[in-house]
Amino acid sequence: MGKIDFNQPHLTGRETKYILDAVSKKKISGNGYYTKLCQNFFESKYNFNKCLLTTSCTDALEMAAILINIQPGDEVIVPSYTFVSTANAFILRGAKIIFADSTNYNPNIDCEQIAALIGPKTKAIVVVHYAGISCDMEKIRELADKRNLYVIEDAAQAIDSFYSDLNGKKRPLGSIGHLAAFSFHETKNIISGEGGMLVINDLTFCDRAEIIWEKGTNRSSFFRGEVDKYGWVDIGSSFLPSELIAAFLYAQLEDLDTIQTKRKLIWQQYLSNLREWADYKNILLPILPDYATNNGHLFYIVHVSEAKRNGLINSLKAKGISSVFHYQSLHNSVYFKSTYTGVPLPNSEMYTERLLRLPLHFDLSTEDVDRVCQTIIESE
């Protein structure tokens, strides 16, 4: 029996054609034809106010930290169960990170605990829509608005997923915070190897975002004919990706609906196949709150113990199936542990110890998924 990879980059077949086209346009540095196509795609499909492609989701988060003008000593509330960049992007600007716990039913930030973490120095709440499943955005916006805090969505995993507000209106993830960051890393639904995007929902950030993106210059204004030469007007970095990356990405975006349909079918198949077994074994499967949708980004189980989880990884591996754990809790990291003074974060630690991600990619067949599920059920 063949191996089943945890992830495989999926190609639409047009990626290199568009790269060749970008090259033939004699413009392969950033902010060209394909960059604009990608940005327009998101602005029109999801009604995002303004989008800027970046070299990574990390870089989009760094842009957010600069835009909200983080100063040394400012506090930013971040879930502990996330990738290091969610915190590092703000630390690079001098922020103190206040780690929050996850809920006990999914790895998203526990809104009930946020209020206690807000202090006079708090500047922003960063939420991570884990597995593309929405955090409780109205609660978070309410908490933030009351205290005049920024909300940043780390939407790395959350492309094409939605939050239904109390009026039943479905809002795309990435459109609810003041700013949002997406990832197109090769492990995501839509990929460009490395890559990301900043979404600017709060229009007051638009002009400065463009400047920071272009290394702190007003080059974009210059090309629109608004100024007669461009120069240094702000801090900034080279956040914009090559057109090679944007061309690749655009080929992917054209197939977004096909990719999403397939991934969601795989996700549903896992859920149906494992439901009965999981309930019997007290194993947690992804829970979708009423307000959230699933985007087929990742399927996980939360086992009953770390030992059982690790045992299952090995059993699957023995059968040629690759499954992987996820984040190390950041408050317990080598970098942060000695300075962490907050309360225990037991749910974050639980997901660190017990969460397991199963293979999920476009080229997985229904037989593959059945085989993974069967192997899991037989291993236990």
Q: Least distance in Å: CB of 238 to a second copy? A: 4
CA distance 182 to 197: 5
Comparison of 64 and 111: residue with beta carbon closer to a second copy: 64
Q: Where are the alpha helices (DSSP H) in 48-204?
A: 57-67, 84-91, 137-147
Which of the residues 22 through 81 are near a second copy (CB under 8 A)?
23, 26-30, 55-59, 62, 72
**Which of 191, 198, 259, 312 contacts a second copy by CB under 8 A?**
191
- Closest to 48 (Cα-Cα) out of 227, 177, 143, 168: 177
Token readout for 176 is 């609810």
Give the three-class secondary structure for 301.
strand
Stretch that binds a second copy, among 85-93, 99-107, 142-150, 202-210 (CB under 8 A): 85-93
Q: Residue 55 — φ and ψ, nearest 5°?
A: -75, -15
Q: CB-wise, 88 or 164, nearer to a second copy?
A: 88
Q: Which amino acid is at 41?
A: F
Shortest CB 221 distance to a second copy, Å: 12
Cα-based angle 27, 33, 39 (whole degrees, multiple of 5):
135
The CB-of-357 to a second copy minimum distance in angstroms stands at 15
* Single residue of 69, 335, 365, 366 touching a second copy by CB under 8 A: 335
Smallest separation, CB 48 to a second copy (Å)? 22
Residue with tokens 């196949």: 273
Residue from 42, 48, 83, 213 touching a second copy (CB under 8 A): that is 83
Cβ 342 to a second copy, closest distance in Å? 16
Instruction: Give dist(CA 344, CA 346) in Å, integer.
Output: 6
Q: Which of 86, 63, 41, 44 is nearest to 208 (CA)?
A: 63
Binds a second copy (CB under 8 A): choice among 36, 333, 379, 380:
333
**Please, which residue, 215 or 308, has the CB nearer to a second copy?**
215
Q: Which of residues 233-292 bind a second copy (CB under 8 A)?
A: 233-238, 240-245, 248
3-state secondary structure of 357: strand
When binding is defined by CB under 8 A, the residue of 4, 19, 38, 77 that contacts a second copy is 19
Q: Which of residues 88-117 bind a second copy (CB under 8 A)?
A: 88-89, 91-92, 94
Site for a second copy in 120-179 (CB under 8 A): none
What is the rounded distance in angstroms from the CA atom of residue 182 to the CA atom of residue 350?
A: 26
Among 186, 165, 74, 162, smallest CA distance to 126 is for 74
Smallest gap from Cβ 22 to a second copy, in A, equals: 8
Q: Which of 50, 123, 129, 185 binds a second copy (CB under 8 A)?
A: 185
Q: Which is nearer to a second copy, 200 or 212 (CB)?
A: 212
What is the distance of C-alpha 355 from the center of its chain? 17
Q: By CB under 8 A, tell whether 217 contacts a second copy.
A: yes
Structure-token pair, residue 121: 């120095």
The answer to whether 171 and 293 are in contact (CB under 8 A) is no
With respect to a second copy, which residue has the nearer C-beta, 63 or 176?
A: 63
Contacts of residue 288, Cβ cutoff 8 Å, sequence gap at least 6: 133, 294
Is residue 300 within 8 A of residue 355, CB to CB? The reply is yes
Closest among 94, 70, 99, 82 to 339, alpha carbons compared: 99
Tokens representing 6 are 């945890």
The count of residues interacting with a second copy (CB under 8 A) is 63
**Cβ 31 to a second copy, closest distance in Å?**
10
Residue 223 or 280 with smaller CB distance to a second copy: 223
User: CB of 196 within 8 A of CB of 52?
Assistant: no
Name the residues that contact a second copy, by CB under 8 A. 5, 8-9, 11, 15-16, 19-20, 23, 26-30, 55-59, 62, 72, 83-85, 87-89, 91-92, 94, 185-187, 191-195, 215-217, 229, 231-238, 240-245, 248, 328, 330, 333-336
